[in-house]
Amino acid sequence: MAYIGKKPEDTFRGLAFKDTFTGDGSTVAFDITNAAPAGGDFDIEVFVENVRQEPGAGKAYTLGADGNGDIKRITFSTAPESAAEIYVINPGKPFEILTIADDSVTTAKIQNNAVTAGKLASTLNLSSNTITLPSTFVTTTDSQVLTNKTISGSSNTISNVANSSLTNSIIKFADESSTVTSIPLGGTLKFNGATLSGDTLEITGGTSWQAVKTSGFTAAAGEGYFCNTTSAAFTATLPAAATIGDEISFIDYAGTFDTNNLTIGRNGHNIQGDASDLTVATERAGFSLVYVDVTQGWLLKTN
pLDDT digits 0-9 by tens, 214-241? 999 999 999 999 999 999 999 999 999 9
pLDDT at 174: 46
Give yes or no for a contact between 226 and 235, defined as CB atoms under 8 angstroms apart. no
* 142 or 299, greater pLDDT: 299
Q: What is the pTM of this model?
A: 0.38
Q: Which amino acid is at 52?
A: R
Listed by start position, the domains of the chain span: 17-90, 166-203, 208-302
pLDDT digits 0-9 by tens, 19-77? 999 999 999 999 999 888 755 678 889 999 999 999 988 999 999 989 998 889 999 99
Average pLDDT over residues 290-295: 96
**Would the pLDDT of 191 be above 70?**
no
The class (CATH top level) of 208-302 is mainly beta
pLDDT at 183: 53
Average pLDDT value for the chain? 81
pLDDT at 25: 94
Give yes or no for a contact between 63 and 36, defined as CB atoms under 8 angstroms apart. yes
pLDDT at 129: 85
> Please, which pLDDT band fits residue 176 given cuts at 50, 70 and 90?
very low
pLDDT digits 0-9 by tens, 263-280? 999 999 999 999 999 999
pLDDT digits 0-9 by tens, 124-165? 888 888 887 776 666 666 666 666 666 666 666 666 666 666
